[in-house]
Chains A and B, each alone.
Chain A
């Protein structure tokens, strides 16, 4: 019998995510996938799924699921009140799993043993909000069905994982392809100021509020490829840090890229949080 649960509430945004679509960027199809890939993979491992099984990505808590049969699940990422964290757990038939507001961080992952069973689109079960691909975001009344693809339980009671940082976050940058479109003063300003994460942020990018960066040259940049972690500077001079649903190409200069070890923490930045960059 297929294990199913009913979505009672979704919070601001809950989507199905996996590792995304690779190898199709030349056709204008981005990778998408879970924003915090470390947390997403851990959730799957805790319930014996393969690391690339589809799971739920919950933005700022608020998800409520009613189990129609006993199911095994694990919750990782931003720590929501009211639910067990970083540990496999059982939801009994008729019980409701309800994620409160996270103490820190932004994105919480809910893996269900067997994986979330939805039809893949172009090889992935991820919702790409920019491209409009994959399953629609969850809404109340939807049914989430568990797949049957899993291995043995890992025999782990609890994964010791640090919570996402609550206060000032420092992110290491690598110079990007268009560093030379900005003056040295602009680069120093990027590294010297404390930005604030804008509420106008989403799975496409983290927008930052602060002092605009000075450019060394104006004019138009022909569109070019962009990758996860690009720090693109539009004419406003205020950086946009690209996350999972970023555009495949863009026409604004990329001054820097986030160092690989800081990509997942960037997915946990919440509006209002202070952010600094370091070389």
Chain B
């Protein structure tokens, strides 16, 4: 674990890998240090933001160094199923990249259990990691408009676009599940630590 400075109110905790990030984030959520207002997990780091009126960075640093990642965080979150119509524009390309047929792409995507590692890019956009070694290149030229509900792959991650936006991920299909809904509390369905299973909903 390495602590890095982020201005007057935050510290960045650098960890070994995503699994450790998930475990460290879970440990912080279970026992948040005093005065913390935001905890932001990412690919290799967890950023912790404080209210300077309540605590200072020296006290935060002591708390962060004393925090021990929860073991095997992956199995701990609740499980959410997301039905997907697998008719994405990049399915054939994905089959080519993976050296298999389209049915096998779908089989692998639905067989994996995914975990929401972190959010970013847009409100409610979750970066999901599976148990198998995906390494999917982004599209060479990003699309200017990816429809809301698109289910996609890039790098080691899968994701669901919460709303229409530009994007360079490879599109597998689409879901009707609203991953970001302002009328729901919290609005984001894909919260860090949550486990996700994609279910083949067949052709529409």
Interface residues of A (CB under 8 A from B): 22-29, 31, 121-122, 131-133, 174-178, 222-230, 247-249, 254, 257-260
Contact = CB atoms under 8 A, between A and B. Distances in A.
B38 A22 contact: yes
Contacts of B126: 28
Given A227-B49, A229-B8, A249-B119, 12 more contacts: A25-B49, A26-B39, A29-B187, A31-B38, A131-B122, A132-B163, A223-B118, A224-B47, A225-B45, A227-B10, A227-B47, A257-B6
A224 B45 contact: yes
B42 interface: yes
Contact of B6 (A25, A26, A230): A230
Nearest to A254: B6
B58 to A, nearest CB: 15
Given A23-B38, A224-B44, A248 B119 contact: yes
A249 B37 contact: no
A223 B6 CA distance: 15
A29 B119 CA distance: 9
A225 B163 contact: no
Contacts of A178: 4
B192 interface: yes
Interface of B: 4-10, 12, 14, 25, 37-47, 49, 52, 118-127, 163, 182, 186-188, 191-192
Q: Which 5 A-B pairs have the closest CB atoms?
A: A225-B47, A257-B7, A222-B43, A225-B40, A177-B4
Contacts of B37: 22-23
18 contacts: A22-B38, A24-B38, A26-B39, A26-B191, A26-B192, A27-B124, A27-B187, A28-B188, A29-B187, A31-B38, A223-B118, A225-B6, A225-B41, A225-B45, A227-B7, A229-B7, A257-B8, A258-B7
Contacts of A28: 119-126, 188
A133 B162 CA distance: 13
Nearest to B192: A26
A223 B12 CA distance: 12
Contacts of B192: 26
Given A27-B188, A28-B124, A28-B188, A260 B4 contact: no
A227 B119 contact: no
Contacts of B44: 222, 224
B172 to A, nearest CB: 21
Contact of A176 (B6, B9, B187): B6
A257 B6 CA distance: 6
Nearest to A27: B188
Nearest to A175: B5
B165 to A, nearest CB: 9
Residue from A121, A131, A133, A227 with most neighbouring chain B CB atoms (10 Å) = A227
Residue from B38, B43, B192 with most neighbouring chain A CB atoms (10 Å) = B38
Contacts of A259: 7-8
Nearest to A231: B7
B7 A260 contact: yes
A228 to B, nearest CB: 8
A137 to B, nearest CB: 18
Nearest to B165: A132
B145 to A, nearest CB: 14
Contact of A26 (B119, B182, B187): B119
Residue from A22, A29, A122, A174 with most neighbouring chain B CB atoms (10 Å) = A29
A13 B9 CA distance: 29
A254 B6 CA distance: 9
Contacts of B42: 222-225, 249
A223 B5 contact: no
B41 A26 contact: yes
Contacts of B45: 222, 224-225
